[in-house]
Chain A
């Protein structure tokens, strides 16, 4: 065993290693301590305290009717700042998830169009990508929001999309809302069970085909199972769900006319504009990623596939896409994360997402900057890590298996 002495720190490699580690650790801890202490002192100087007690206080402001306010049953004077936090998270996730879905579909379509042999299709895709990628997202957000507002009829008027079912005016898109009764959980369970059975069946069918060469109609059985089992349960439990249709009234006090609150559900124009802008903007980037991914697959792969008699559709599906995905997925992940973070721009057009109502409105009322920004960052961090983890898992699955 070595003696710890000044000499050993200088000459003994292992001791020197330990010394540096301890040294750096103490520097870091001191740095953190200094930051925290300084923050608390600075806040105390301004008569402010640190703590999360504010979360249980009642929030005194109205929040526009959105998925979040519906999920958490927002009620001014009864709901707390913690509810505001959850509403913000729900609304952020809603546009993020819808945006990711939309941007993926449009992005893949435009990306493939960009490689089309047809001049018009190809040019359209090029113009789309260049235009949308190069205009700042905030401007696009304003453009879509005010374009949507200008295009729609007033609050006391409507455009019917499907008569008596779906309609729109400047206050939003009105759709039927499901009214869920207690027994509905059984149908959901049946649905999940059906999916699990399908997955098991699929791997069984694959194994059997490998061993015996016999094929099993997986798709049809699965559809029948999922649809049939769910509907059967729904019927047996006595149809525990109904629809509430949007109601439009043109009588009574002038401000009460139009769509009646409490009937159907509404997607406010703020949300539609955020969704539209995020989708179209991110799709332009995804299109480029998809194009690059497809171009990265050597042409010989296509030729080889054709030479063994594969049809073009099959070639794309079985040869090109699986290989292209390896190139596409990592940058695609960062586009998904960008989209989520970009959703915070929505405060500009009054969509009540996390940054707007929690790190904005609520922060201005309670003034707990450190705590609230920390809570907000945790949400984005969690979402980013979860997305990254999922995409890594997916990437590992589609990765080229080298033999």
Chain B
């Protein structure tokens, strides 16, 4: 019943929203904070602790935008969304940014009217099985019962994978990740499938994490990143360049611990000077102040700092998410 009502309210939102709602930046400034759509609890990416404080790589993305816009990384409120609710919430204006391990796909760009502002984590879909099954490869999964989340790319990929390999399976798709874990834990399914980062994050919620293993196959590409509504290029640019600033800062060796010194250092490179707002007026061109990126780095840190604080503890090495200069594929366009 509540679900029904929520869906209808969301639809009404699209109908009533004044058609000139394009300027998200003005809306956000008027309300004094950014409304950020996150997951309902995925350690390392977006997770609330007992006192309701949110942390994670995806949370830092929103904090960075808040720092850029308001000079205050705390000027952000979080809306936990299930995979199924997230796009309707963004489309109806309930949230200003969706930063919730969301995969960039073509349909989402075209049919769903969304814009991905970049990629903050390159992932792929994996599968977890109880070690006791003795299964070592995904090609042995014919006849499996598989638990996952509804409204995700995961459902589509797993269906593709089984069709491509002419295997049969039964899909049990839950709305919330917690129920997926609980049902898999209870033995309802032989396999738990989601993004590999999700598997690592959720593993800790199992009664015996060590009794399960992640199969080596990666069956899809899941570039995860922050999403905004189509039709507001300014807001899109703010989110995109907040992310680029964090990645560029890592590449230039600018972090929360040295950015303040660099500000008063006469011997910095022109690129660093542009990044932290000592040269040019890049911030103003975005509709912000010129110390926008300085504030991000001061209050949130660069990409490596966020990664190490949030994702490294899950046991996930940088891998492809290392900078291109370190052998990964993280490559941000230059600020110039």
Contact = CB atoms under 8 A, between A and B. Distances in A.
Q: Specify whether A and B are partners.
A: yes
Interface of A: 35, 38-39, 41-43, 45-48, 60-65, 76-77, 142, 146, 149-150, 154-155, 170-171, 253-256, 261, 268-270, 338, 341-342, 344-345, 347-350, 352, 355-357, 359-361, 363-370, 373, 376-377, 380
Contacts of A352: 173
A369 B19 contact: no
B240 interface: no
Contacts of B31: none
B155 A361 contact: yes
A171 B145 contact: yes
> Which 6 A-B pairs have CB atoms at the shortest separation, nearest pair first?
A46-B113, A367-B112, A364-B151, A62-B171, A45-B231, A48-B113
Interface of B: 1-4, 7-8, 10-11, 14-19, 21-22, 83-84, 87-88, 91-92, 107-108, 110-114, 133-135, 140-145, 147, 150-152, 155-156, 158-160, 162-163, 168-176, 179, 182-183, 186-188, 190, 229-231
Nearest to B86: A364
A360 B14 contact: no
A150 B182 CA distance: 11
Given A255-B135, A364-B87, A48 B111 contact: yes
A342 B1 contact: yes
Contacts of B14: 39, 42-43, 369-370
A169 to B, nearest CB: 10
B102 to A, nearest CB: 11
Nearest to B17: A42
B142 A347 contact: no
Given A76-B159, A347-B150, A365 B107 contact: yes
Contacts, number: 183
A277 to B, nearest CB: 14
Given A42-B14, A360-B175, 10 more contacts: A39-B15, A43-B113, A46-B229, A62-B159, A149-B183, A155-B187, A171-B170, A255-B135, A350-B183, A367-B91
B82 to A, nearest CB: 9
B4 A355 contact: yes
Contacts of A142: 179
A60 B142 CA distance: 19
A370 B178 CA distance: 29
A41 B19 CA distance: 7
11 contacts: A35-B16, A45-B22, A48-B112, A253-B142, A255-B135, A347-B174, A350-B172, A355-B4, A357-B150, A361-B151, A361-B155
Contact of B7 (A39, A41, A341, A373): A373
A155 B2 CA distance: 34
Nearest to A62: B171
Contact of B156 (A60, A146, A154): A60
Contacts of B110: 47
Contacts of B1: 338, 341-342, 344-345
Contacts of A64: 170-173
B231 A46 contact: yes
B10 A369 contact: yes
B20 to A, nearest CB: 9
Contacts of B141: 255
Contacts of B7: 355, 359, 373, 376
Nearest to A65: B170
